[in-house]
Structures are given as C-alpha cells and as structure tokens.
Structure 1
Amino acid sequence: MTVESPAGPSTGTSTGRRWHVLGAWLLADALALTGTRLAAVALPWLALTTTGSPTAAGVVAFAELAPLVVAKVLSGPAIDHLGARRVAVGCDAASASTVAAIPALHHLDALSFPALLVLVAATGALRGPADAARHSLVPVLAESTRQPMERVTGLASTVERTSSLVGAALAAGLVALVGAADALAVNAAGLALAAVVLGLGARSVGRGVPADDDPHSYLVRLRAGWQFLRRDPVILALTVMIAFTNLLDVAFTAVLLPVWAVETGSGVGAVGLLLAVMAATSVVGSLVAAAWADRMPRFAVYVVAFVVCGLPRFAVLAWSDVTSAPVVVMAVAGLASGFLNPVVGAVFFERIPRHLVGRVGAMSTAVAWGLMPFGGLVGSALLALLDLRAALLVAGVLYLVTTLAPVVDRRFRAMDRVPVEVS
C-alpha cells in the first residue's frame, strides 16, 4: 500500500503558499496553546481558592490529564487515516464548547466541583488528539518548506514558549480582574479561533490523504505504533525520561507553586509572573535553537539544558519568600528549556517513518504524558507528608536524579546519529 504525504502532492504549490500554510499552522498552534496555558493556571487556582484544599487542585489536574493521555494513545490511527488537520480542527472546535461551559455554569451558580471535573475531563479527552494531530504535521511542513527539522521544531517550540508567556500573563491579569472561572472564556476563544485558522488557512495540508485501505484492524494498526516505539531505543529512552520530568513539572506548576504563592502571600500575580518569565526566556532559547541547533551536539545540549531547568526552580522557592531570586532562577531555567523541544522533536521525526508519524507520535507523547495526571496528586501527597520547603526540595532532588539518567544510559548518546533507515 502506498501512503501519500498528509500534505498531498506538492506539484504546483508555490514557495509562498507553503510558507503561508506553515504560518497558519503556527498561528493555530499559538492560539490553542495560549488558551490551554491560561487554563493551566486558572483551573488549579479555581479549585484551590474555592475549596481551600491543595488536594482539590491536584484532583483537577488529574481529571484533565488522565483522559488526555488515554485519548492521545487511541488517536494515532485516526490521525494517520483521517488526516492530522481534520482531527485537530474538529477536536479544537469541540473542546472550545466544553471550556466555555465552565464560566457559563459558574454564572448560573451550577458549577459544582463534580461538574467541574466532568468538564475538565471532557476538555482533556479532546485536547489530547488535537495536540497530537497538530504536532504530526511537523515533518510535512519541514519537507514542504525545505528547512532542517530543527528549524521547524524550533519555530514550533518558540510558538509554544511564547504561548506559555502570554498565557501565564493573561492568567495572572484575568484571574485577578474577573476571577478564575471567567478567565477560562479566553481559553475557549483561543481554541475556537485555532480551529478556524487551521481549517481555513491550511487547507492544502489535508489534501492527498488516501482512503484507509489498510486491511488490518484498528487495534493492529495501533499496535504497530507501539511496537515501533518499543523497539527504537533512542525514542523509548527519551520518552521514559520525559515522562518522569513531566510528572514533577505538573507537581510544581499545579500544586507546589500555587501553594508557595498562597503561603508567602505573593498571590496569583506571583504565579503568573514566574511562569511568564520562564516562558519569555524560553522563547529566546527556542529561537537560538531554531537558528543553530542543527549544528549543535544534541546529547550535550539535552543533558545540560535539563539539569539547568530542573532542580534550581524547586530549590529557590524552598529558600525564598519573595519573588526576586525566583525570577532570576526561572529566567535562566527558561532559557535552557527552550533548547529541549527542538532537539527532541528533530530526533523523533527523523527516526519515525512517515506513514507511522501519527501513531508513533501520539503514542510517544501519550507515554511521555502518562505520569502527568499523577503530578498534582504527587505534589499534594508531598505536602500532606512534609512542609512546603521539604516538599520542594524532595521534588527537586528527584528531578535532578532523573535529568542525570542520560549520563549513565548509553542509549541517549545515539541522539547525535541519524539512522539511515528505521524499520
């Protein structure tokens, strides 16, 4: 069976048109990610301030991320068959409605905590396939624009980091101004606009997708993605390590940082400021990576960047009651983190066969996100057993141990080598 590129035939497509499609994809990604980054601050804050319980913030994070991971795992075959653009547009449009229901029910005084969990879970189940689908378009766009993979993944990472910056800043301002529930209306608007932009501005990406004449069942095709992931030592090692760092990142963002802001009296403004500073400098790191990462040693960049953006974030909050020192540390951590996604993305897309991009990409991302639903619960558990300072230090040490794994695991060193063919 011959599988065409999801972008369809390139004959007759001008260079300007190709860059127009890339721009539409980047804009759609920015709109969707800005809204979800805003929600990453607003939702835990809504749960924490309305219930007074750090556990509630952790449960909300779990309710969103658990179905997100499951849906992402299951979405791979659909992305490869239906086309990544179609899946992204449909899921973004649907999730806009579920997010918009939160402020609507809040105004009707009908937003109970169980109702919030249901809506958050539905949003996560839709966001998983949407994010995976947009991400699956990277190799097609790199090929059509004739750019190094690191350049396109670097641009995508720049958009992601910029969205984190804007989303965190919007969250801090809107939550303080109109409250956490109403701030989520911006999230809904971002998702709706993302669906429109990708649907109208990148139509050519959806052309040329063949009918699914694969005689194998859905489960067989799904298993093909898993088998490739399991057998590729580099992608598997990266995926497992990132799963553990993601777990601790969620514990930090969803629970430990908001509780630090409450206990020190810094308020939600400090949460938005610190996340925005880290996002701002990560934009710079991503831009540098987009320009020069294809000439840098991937393994060295990966290890150093992870060490710099890990433990220091946790440690500075453990020893500081004001935002001055944390701002500096978060700025340095953000600069380092900006190099991670361009490097990891380039490694992944170079090693995954084109016809398996949707399945393997969705599967690897889902595994990398597999522990994230438990991040909020881990943060809550640490605070139940320890005071805030000790909880931050324990989480930070665990992060350091995880980031040093590539030094002893030789599979990671193959990041610097591009395979001629991966079967």
Structure 2
Amino acid sequence: MKRVVVTGLGALTPIGNNTEDFWNGLVNGVSGSAPITRFDTSAFKTKFACELKNFDPLNFIDKSEARRNDLFTQYALIAVEEAVKNAGINFESLNRNRIGVIWGSGNGGIITFEEQVKEFVKGDGTPRFSPFFIPKIIVDIASGIISIKYGLRGVNFTTVSACATSNTAIIDAFNYIKWGKADMIITGGSEAPITASAVGGFSAAKALSTNNENPAGASRPFDVNRDGFVMAEGAGALVLESLDHALARNATIIGEIAGGGMAADAYHMTGTHPEGEGAYLGMMEAIADAGIQPSDIDYLNAHATSTPLGDNSELRAAERVFGAAPQLHISATKSMTGHLLGAAGAVEAIACIKAIEQGIIPPTINTTQAEPDYAHKFNLTLGQAVKKEVNYAMSNTFGFGGHIATAVFKKYWP
C-alpha cells in the first residue's frame, strides 16, 4: 500500500477567500455569519447565513465560464486553482492519465434549478430553459469541469453523502492512490446552497438556528442553549498524491492522510443515532485504518453543527472511542464558518492539516455553557486558539440518511 500525502490546499470560505485568510480567521475566532443578502428573508424564520464576503467570481474566472457554470462549480474551480498553484504542479510534465478528480457536493446546482423553475412558472408555459440548465445542476459536473480544465484523464467521479460528502471524496481519493490506481487526485467539495428553497427547506425541518438578533453568535456547538446550525457556502480543495510521486517531482509535502472510516447510523432519515453508533464505528474504523490507537489523536475537529441532538450524540460516541480524555482537544470550526453541507469535510480537513502544520488548535467560539456531562471529559477549546503539537488530527462528518465519514491526518515524517 502506498503512502498518501497532501501537497496542495485551496479554500473559499465565509471567513476567508483563500487558505491563508481562512486559517487566520479560524485562529482569530472570526464568525462568518451575517444577515442574508442573496434574497429577501422578511418572510423567513431564519434570516442569516455564512455567505462569502467581498467575493466576485469574475475576479477569478471569465464571464463566459461563469455563465456556463452554477456557483457550486465556480467555487470548485476557484479553490482547485489555488490548490494546484499551492502544490506547484506542472501538469505538462506529468502523466495525466494517472491523475484524477474525486469531488463532492451534496446539492449540486440548486441555485440554477431554483432560478430556472421560477422563470418557467411565471412565464406563459412555454419552456425557455437554458441549454446549460442540466449541465449546471447535475451534481457530478464539477469533477468533470475540473478534469476538462487541466486535461486530467484518470479516475473521475463525484461523491454524494449529504454533509459527509467531501470527507467521503477525500477517503475515496486516499484509497485510490493507496491502491496504486492513481498517482495524484484533486479532491474536496463545494456547495452553494444559500437560496430561498434551501433555507426554507432546512428551516421547515427545524434544523436552522433562528437567532436573528445575534447572527454572529448563532452557531454554538456543545452549548446547552444551541438551537440549530447556520448554513454556509464555499469550497475546499486538496491535492493528494502518492509519496513516491510527490518526492519524484520535488513537491513540498504539507501533511499525510493516515486513514479513513465510513459507516452508517441506520437509524433515522435526518437524526443521528442517540448513542452515536455510526459515529463510533466510523471513528474506530479510521483509527484502525491509520494503524494507531485512540490515544494517538491529538485533535478532533468535530462535526458539531450546533443542533440539540446531533452534538450530544457525537460526544457520546467520542467518549466511547476515547474515554474521558481531558487532554484531547476537540473544537467545532462550524462555530465560525457555519455549515458548508457537502463542502464541510473539505474545509475542515484543511483546518486539521493546518493545525498539524502550525501547531495550533482553532477554537470553538460562542459556546458559553458547555454540556455539563462533557465539559470536563474533553478540552472543547472554548473561546481561544491553543498552541499544541499535533501529530494526528481527526475530522468527523455526518450526513442526512445516517452517512458517516471520518478521516485521520498526520504530520509527515520521511
């Protein structure tokens, strides 16, 4: 089995439009939540989200490319371009038959779908859909467009496992390279869900916070007064390659993927198992795949969306895996970024890799009254970032349908 290393990162998030700004936002505890600007929210219970800030896609891609692609694909292209530059890749010198793309999105082109259907409904019944309508909405299009842009002819597909999507993509990419099926894979996820239909739908499911008086403090993972998640948009991209391939091209190695675990709650359409059964299985499988012990994990980036039931079930699962472990730092970066749905795992993987690289645990912000049963069993990293050597970091992601995907990252040692 080949070792799989990380050589490039790209981020487009509500707290930073590149990896450096994103990381600085995390370390400094910046909230990306603010009133929604995309549509009129006056009739909505939830009026805020984590939108991208000071962002114009035309600063990154040309007008014709933007017209052909939904925002979720535009976000993917922008994050991937940063990751490719960060990795110092010259594709002309590489065997592009052995380079693939495994990308994730939970919703695909939901903005395009909503806009086109609205236009049809308010018209005279004559179908005047854009010729780009279907290509823009299908969830697999981003991986295809990335491969076309760079001429990558290796393994290419899209994962969909709701909010576990991009962790699933990363684990699949890790496995394909580990098995020798590819030399390099661009992976990650993107999501552009801040639309009336998505906000309305999640609100109807009672999943969103309604703390309209204090949007910046609305995402409160582990807090006894939490009332739901904050929707977010953006993308995260990683360049993964086999160790020998990275060394052969003299790449700078940022970190390494040690293992991945996937499981299912097999319990409820939208709710997590109350005892975190799937989360427990996913974490244990990832640890076993990495060939380490639970005590080796220095940092857990929790799924922790700030929902009343979900946070507790994850903490119960963590207690089953780690026992009472006050030395284990856990943080919920969704308290700052909001929940990027299918892209969450990608940006949180970047947070884990940067934590390893920089020796800093990003904080959980907004949480003032942590769940009393767990406040002293783990270090929830409340309020401020913490300096700590991180050799192994774990990232949890869970999705509607009971999907579980957990990845373990490690410091690179030659």
Is the structural similarity TM-score above 0.5?
no
TM-score of the superposition, structure 2-length normalised? 0.31
Q: Give the TM-score of the pair, scaled to structure 1.
A: 0.31
More strand by share: 2
More helix by share: 1
